[in-house]
Structure 1
Amino acid sequence: MTPTPPAPHTAKVQEALAARDALATALSRAGIQLPAMDIRTPWADDREAEGQYALVHLGVCSAPVALMLADVITKGIAG
């Protein structure tokens, strides 16, 4: 994976941006905020590689935030 910022005009990057935003909104509604969420690509330049997706990078979180995530997921499963 390359740490270079992805080109925002590619379809797969747009898809990843939409997914990141949807996840951030859902987490926010659950009272959870991750310190860093960004998009990364497994390709080295602005050309999409066929069969590869841009990735939503969730970064790192503290133990309390990880426990909050686990709790929200568990409650969702128990539904």
Structure 2
Amino acid sequence: MPHPHVQEAEAHLEALRAALAAHGITLPSLGLEPPSFAGTYAAPLIALGNCNLTTAEALAAALRKGAAG
């Protein structure tokens, strides 16, 4: 039986991927966290994954820019 929130989680995942891409940021490991399907979480978890230092710096800069308005 599929998790009841898979489509919702996939939609949020794609929205996050698109928002990151708009800032030139790609997280190669971005995806749904498989173990969360077996747990008691209300919805699947999104794994942000690993990134190199350049990507971490770009992500931090984009978040700071967004927070500044």
State the TM-score, normalizing by the size of structure 2: 0.82
Please give the residue correspondences for 1:1-40 in structure 2 after superposition, counting only pairs within 5 Å: 9-40=2-33
Give the corresponding residue for 1:42: 36
Q: Could you say what the CA RMSD is over the residues aligned between the two structures, in angstroms? A: 2.0
Percentage of matched positions with identical amino acids? 37
- Decide which structure has the larger Cα Rg and report it: 1
SS at match of 2:24: coil
Distance 2:66 2:36 in 1: 31
Query: Runs of 4+ in structure 1 displaced over 3 angstroms?
Result: none
Give the number of the structure whose residues are more often helix, by fraction: 2
Unpaired stretches in structure 1, ≥5 consecutive residues = 1-6
Distance 2:37 2:11 in 1: 19
Distance 2:26 2:36 in 1: 25
Count of matched residue pairs: 68
State the TM-score, normalizing by the size of structure 1: 0.73
Distance 2:50 2:8 in 1: 22
